[in-house]
Amino acid sequence: MTPKNIAGMAKRLFFLRHEKVALLLAGVLVGCCSGVAAAGLSFAIEHLSELCAHAKHYWWVFVLPGVGAALSSLFLNKIVREGAGHGVPEIIYAVSRRGGLLRFRSSFSRLVSSCLTIGSGGSAGPEAPVVMSGSAIGSNIAQRLGFPSRHRITLVGCGAAAAIASIFNAPIAGIVFTLEVVLGEWTAVNVIPIGVASVAGTQVGRLLMGNSIRFSHAHFSPGTWDIAAAFGLALATALVSVALSRMIRSSGKMWGKLPASKMSRAFVGGACVGLVGLFFPQVLGEGYNQIYSLIHGQYSPGLVLLCAILGLKMLVTATTLGSGGSGGIFAPGLVVGSFTGVAYFRLLSLMVDVGHLAPEGCYALLGMAGIMGGMLQAPLTGLFLVVDITSGYEVILPLIVVSLVSSSVCRYFESDSFYLKDLKAEGGLIRPGTDERVLEDLQVSEVLEHNLIPLNNHMTLADLVAQVKSSHRNHFPVLDVKTNEFLGMIDLAKVRPYLFNRELYGTVLVVDIMDHFPPAVSPDERLTDVLELMDRIQAFSLPVISGKRFLGMVSKGTLLDHYRRELIVQTTY
């Protein structure tokens, strides 16, 4: 090894170390900003809810959620012109397809809109909006600091982790949610900055909102029978998860068909929620108070009423989110989960002696993990979220059972999680470590081969033979001599019989023997689709056409060369 090589290596190591330090520092910055955003949203929702509570004695109180949702829609669609959904799928799309690029406006838009929706009584959670905000902060900080896309994705993850960590005071859940749901990969490169950001976000949240366990509870000591009962609860939560996911999705489609403006739809939807809230105020807002009562065994309504409230909570959540309100599914999912857990326990108590089981509050915890694990199909996220927000490590064994089984059963009914279903259907999801992910960073223009000899429509077979002698290619595009437009393709494999018949040289034109409608691709085509087409028609190369102009050829050989190079780039760090 020469001194020059050693110097080069030292320089590279130094740079790498610095890059990692820079990433860590940026992670801390992103974590702190996300923490502030989470605290800000939490304060804002609290104060708006208090303000709206003053009106609870008036008959018109039911329109408040409608007004909040309408203002939220107005802000999101007309003022900041965000034009996007609930947030988390957009982040996953950005991570998966766009190198973590998110718009600056996303760093505040969802905070304001979700505050209006939830603060006025809409049934949604502040977590998805704050995750959106944190991720957008991470993306924009990465853009301003000029980080490459792989680090930008990590900083998006830092924002998401810190947001969850801060709003729930749950640092581990933040990390796990980000790695399991948002990024879809666990690597040392990601884990360290995301962990640091999560700590920063949690600490900022604690400084601003106080350090308290959100749902502290009495000590539970679940035994073997509780673990056995957890299997039944897992099945119940799985079914409820599937139902809730489908209700939200169908509600979105149903409200979308209404011939009214987005703002009007949000108003009507919010007002419907408000009407239900007149009779069942428990279903309004985040619903954290309900969870608290359920965990502490202070929830007095009987089983039938409990099930009714559970159904209504699901309905108003679907209405709030489907009609255009802004918010996430974490908080409603937790509320629905705790109701499901307690309902399951009470149902069980009708059938068997539950004296040797843990109290019903324990089942509220288990239900929360089951719903989160089921809806997100991310068992660890559900598990650690509940452990973090309840400090309930003693219930870890049944929690694991509920979370894993619920997630697995949900997968049987729904191939993808709530966040990923639409994304996957639209081709917007590409997970790390797949061919698609590698090819995603390549464009048709990058693999285009230009070293082809074009023929024109006046050329004869003799001209073709002359060109064949001076070319190593098997394909010759035929262009219009006047307009330069693409007319067709000569594939030597197909015209070989003519090449050896000298009598035809002067009489046959290339247009007579060319392929007039060869399969072609456009310059915007995804390379995965190009490869798929090549496999399907058993072609090794395809012409690239824009309008009627021939741009070049794309071949399997060149494509795989670029693939390999891109793979090295993506896996080197």
Partner 1 sequence: MVNSLLHVFRNNAFGRETFMQSLYFCKTLDFTLRVYIPRHSKFLMYFENEVTQVDLDQSYLSDPETAQEHVEALAKKAGVSVDFLTPKDFTASTLPDVPIGFDCMCCPRSMSDKTSRIGLGYVGPKVRRIAVAAPFPVLVTSLCYKPWNSVAVFFGGSANAFKALSMGLSLSRRSGMPLDLFTIEEGDVNRETLDNLLQAREMTSVVEEGVREWHFLSKSKLEDNLYEIPPDALTVIGAYGHGMIREALFGSKLEVIQSQIINNMMIVGPKCRVF
88 binds partner 1 (CB under 8 A): no
Does residue 85 belong to the site contacting partner 1 (CB under 8 A)? yes
Does the footprint of partner 1 cover residue 547 (CB under 8 A)?
yes
User: Taking CB under 8 A as the rule, does residue 427 contact partner 1?
Assistant: yes
Q: How far is the CB of 177 from partner 1 (least distance, A)?
A: 21
CB nearer partner 1, residue 101 or residue 465: 101
Q: Distance of alpha carbon 291 from its chain centroid, rounded?
A: 27
527 alpha carbon, distance to own chain's centre: 22
Structure tokens that stand for 527 in this block: 């390379």
The neighbour count for residue 465, using CB atoms within 10 Å, is: 14
When asked if residue 483 is in the footprint of partner 1 (CB under 8 A), the reply is: yes
Contact status: 105 vs partner 1 (CB under 8 A): yes
Choice from 22, 49, 74, 103 touching partner 1 (CB under 8 A)? 103
Using CB under 8 A, which of the segments 181-189, 281-289, 406-414, 423-431 binds partner 1? Answer: 423-431
First-to-last C-alpha distance (Å) of the chain: 23
Contact with partner 1 (CB under 8 A) among 97, 151, 265, 437: 97
Nearest Cα neighbor of 44 from 63, 72, 66 is 72
Q: Helix or strand or coil: residue 560?
A: helix
**How far, in whole angstroms, is CA 385 from its chain's centroid?**
18
Question: How many residues sit in the footprint of partner 1 (CB under 8 A)?
Answer: 36
How far is 97 from 429, CA to CA, in rounded Å?
7
Binding status of residue 519 toward partner 1 by CB under 8 A: no
Interface region with partner 1, contact rule CB under 8 A, candidates 18-26, 305-313, 509-517, 518-526: 518-526
Interatomic CA distance for residues 561 and 324, integer angstroms: 47
Which of the ranges 79-87, 123-131, 370-378, 563-571 carries the binding residues for partner 1, by CB under 8 A?
A: 79-87
Nearer to partner 1, 115 or 551 (CB): 551
Residues in the chain: 573
Inter-CA distances, 52 with 61, 67, 266, 273, Å: 8, 11, 18, 15
Nearer to partner 1, 87 or 341 (CB): 87
Place of tokens 């949604």: 124
Q: Decide: is 130 part of the binding site for partner 1 (CB under 8 A).
A: no
Closest distance of CB 184 from partner 1, Å: 18
Beta carbons of 387 and 399 less than 8 angstroms apart: yes
Choices 54-62, 92-100, 225-233, 562-570; region in contact with partner 1 by CB under 8 A:
92-100
Write the DSSP string, 30-45.
Answer: HHHHHHHHHHHHHHHH
Of 394 and 449, the one with the shorter C-beta distance to partner 1 is 449
Stretch that binds partner 1, among 41-49, 273-281, 396-404, 516-524 (CB under 8 A): 516-524
Sequence letter at residue 454? P
| Beta carbon of residue 552, minimum distance to partner 1 (angstroms, whole number) | 8
Tally of CB atoms within 10 A around 505: 16
- For 509, the 3-state DSSP assignment is strand
- Regarding 299 and contact with partner 1 (CB under 8 A), the answer is no
Q: Where are the alpha helices (DSSP H) in 54-148?
A: 64-74, 88-97, 106-119, 127-145
78 touches partner 1 (CB under 8 A): no
What is the rounded distance in angstroms from the CA atom of residue 44 to the CA atom of residue 119? 8
Among 102, 283, 521, 530, binds partner 1 (CB under 8 A): 102
The answer to whether 98 contacts partner 1 (rule: CB under 8 A) is yes
The verdict on 424 binding partner 1 (CB under 8 A) reads no
Instruction: Using the minimum distance from each CB to partner 1, give the nearer residue, 18 or 144.
Output: 144
**Considering beta carbons, is residue 459 or 551 the nearer one to partner 1?**
551
For the record, the structure tokens of 348 come out as: 């069980």
- Contact call for residue 259 and partner 1 (CB under 8 A): no
Does 445 help bind partner 1 (rule: CB under 8 A)? yes
3-state DSSP call for residue 541? Answer: strand
User: Is residue 548 involved in binding partner 1 (CB under 8 A)?
Assistant: yes
CB 424 within 8 A of CB 383: no
Q: Do 511 and 523 contact (CB within 8 A), yes or no?
A: no
Residues 494-513 that bind partner 1 (CB under 8 A): none
* Binding map of partner 1 across residues 192-231, x = CB under 8 A, - = no contact: ----------------------------------------
For partner 1, give the closer residue by CB, 210 or 259: 259
Q: What is the largest CA-CA distance in the chain?
A: 100
- Give, as one character, the DSSP assignment of residue 515: B
Shortest gap between Cβ of 214 and partner 1 (angstroms)? 31
* Nearest-angstrom CA–CA distance, 132 and 102: 9
| 319 closest CA partner among 352, 277, 270 | 270
Q: How far is the CB of 83 from partner 1 (least distance, A)?
A: 5
| Whole-number Å distance between alpha carbons of 501 and 462 | 10
| Interacting residues toward partner 1 by CB under 8 A | 81, 83-85, 90, 93-94, 97-99, 101-103, 105, 143, 146, 426-428, 443-445, 450, 483-485, 522-524, 526, 546-551
